[in-house]
Amino acid sequence: MAPRTVFTDAVLFPVNDDRRQPYRGWFAVDGAGLITDIGAGEYVPGAQADSVVELRGALVLPGFVSAHSHLWQSVFRGVADGCTTMGWIDKLHRRFGAALEPGDMYVFTVHGQRDLLRQGITTVCNHTHEFGDGPAEQWQAALDGAQRTVYSFSPPLWRTADERLSELDKFLHLSADDRHRVLALSMNTTALHSVEHMRRESEILRELGVGQHAHYLEDPTVAVAQQDSFDDLLAGGRVGADTVFAHFIHTTPRIRDTAARAGAAMVWNPLSNGRLGSGIADIPGYLAAGLRVGMGVDGQASADVGDPFQNMRTGLYLLRAAARDPKALDARRILRMHTLDSAEVLGVGDRVGSLEIGKAADFVVCDPPAPYAHLPADQLWSFAVLALSAADITEVRIGGVRVSTGPADRDRALESDCARRISRLYQSV
């Protein structure tokens, strides 16, 4: 029989069940890292448990999912303050991209992985870039890391569909063992040379089971031009159930409703949207229209911190302030958005995103100094979203195995290597 670890005396958050409130309980994890049993109340020890971990009433949340990130940007924080997205791209991508040397992308991506893990993000959609030996190095980092990845390729949009699709060849042949941490694949897809090129590429991606993930309607300075391209995207097969629009702020009612009817999804990135002055996405309107919504912390050079608690609060407060209504969105819904909804947007909700039997035992343990044992169960949702931060994380587990002890868990050798590499870059450009 496979080894089993039972985690007991935890306050569990059932983001998958709209009728159930947080409850004191336990859950069992098998040797494959999957949840086999879960229950309320006190665990009664049995012969089937190989080990028992007492959590002493700590809060246990599903591992957070960032449905849109750029992990390599982790070492470029604070860059281009006061710029819109396009100005920020000039001061980051166009300034440093050509100066990256072999090994940079791997080391920077690993730094981004470790940073998000410490802050409770156990699954990330890493939207990659082509700089240096970027694709191969970012892929290798995904295979080597503890974090689960949805890997999003980003070959240059100025290439033909055939040239872009050829980039997939080096990855698609890999066996399941080679990519056990890679849950799914997607490709950056917005406008290409023609509708015909887009349609050809989109059809092949669907045949291969590779999703479409596009930056769209983020920067207000180019919003009108991007809105005007929507009919071409629609005709080119770029809008469907396999489509994830990152940002998707400056929509029109027609774009919003058409995308929703097609089954498309969007990823809300409140921290970077606020930092870059991109705008406030109409999340209540999107939800009312039936659009699927996930959340991302974006790159750590545009959000600067990868704390999902801060990301949720920033989004919640912006929506409430804009609507002048504290009921514009509630804490329970936004916690689901950054866990299960984000996993479902990425097409991996059957494996991660919630504490359920059959899913991976990816979870975050929080033990804040503020008292919470006296709170009624329905108030624990708001406590988790409004009162917690990454600093309250005591451990992060993936497949039941501890991969981080929270903010105090730092890799000094990695940080030193990053500092040396980033110093060289700043001196060379």
pLDDT in tens, 34-59: 999 999 999 887 657 789 999 999 99
pLDDT (0 to 100) of residue 189 = 86
Beta pairing partners, 246:
215, 267
- DSSP symbols for 72-128: GGGG-TTTTTT--HHHHHHHHHHHHGGG--TTHHHHHHHHHHHHHHHTTEEEEEEE-
Categorize the per-residue pLDDT at 23 as very low, low, confident or very high, splitting at 50, 70 and 90: very high
Mean local confidence (pLDDT), 120-148 = 91
- Does 174 or 80 have the greater pLDDT score? 80
- What's the pLDDT score for residue 146? 94
* Percentage above 90 pLDDT, the chain: 85
136 pLDDT above the threshold of 80: yes
Residues 26 and 75: their CA atoms lie apart, in Å, by 38
User: What's residue 47's pLDDT?
Assistant: 57
What DSSP line would sit under 301-313, residue for residue? TTTS---HHHHHH
The pTM (predicted TM-score) of the whole model is: 0.96
> What are the angstrom distances between the C-alpha of 286 and each of 218, 253, 332, 342, 380?
15, 9, 17, 15, 26
Delineate the domains of the chain, giving CATH numbers in brackets. 4-63+355-408 (2.30.40.10), 65-345 (3.20.20.140)
- What mean pLDDT is predicted for residues 22-38? 96
- How far apart CA 226 and CA 144 sit, in angstroms, is 37
Q: Please report, as a single letter, which amino acid is at residue 89.
A: I
Q: pLDDT class for 2, splitting at 50, 70, 90? A: low
pLDDT band of 186, cuts 50, 70, 90: very high
320: CB partners within 8 A, 6+ apart: 326, 327, 328, 329
User: Would you state the pLDDT for residue 46?
Assistant: 67
Q: Which of 113-122, 206-215, 260-269, 357-366 has the lowest mean pLDDT?
A: 206-215
Q: What is the mean pLDDT of the chain?
A: 93
Is beta strand 121-127 parallel, antiparallel or unpaired with respect to 148-153?
parallel
pLDDT for position 133:
76
**Given this model, what pLDDT does residue 50 score?**
84
What would the mean pLDDT of 180-206 be, rounded to a whole number? 87
pLDDT of residue 91: 96
pLDDT score, position 401? 96
Pick 271 or 170 by higher pLDDT.
Answer: 271
Cα four-point dihedral sign 193, 198, 200, 201: positive
pLDDT digits (tens, 9 = 90+) for 195-249: 988 898 899 899 989 999 999 999 999 999 999 999 999 999 999 999 999 999 9
Report DSSP letters for 196-264, one per residue.
HHHHHHHHHHHHHT-EEEEEES--GGGHHHHHHTHHHHHHTT-SSTTEEEEE--S--HHHHHHHHHTT-
Are the beta carbons of 260 and 223 closer than 8 angstroms?
no
User: What's the order of all strands across the beta sheet hosting 401-404?
Assistant: 35-40, 23-30, 4-12, 51-62, 363-366, 393-398, 401-404
- Which is more confident, 4 or 304? 304
Give Cα separations from 199 to 10, 45, 233, 234, 265 (angstroms). Answer: 50, 58, 9, 9, 19
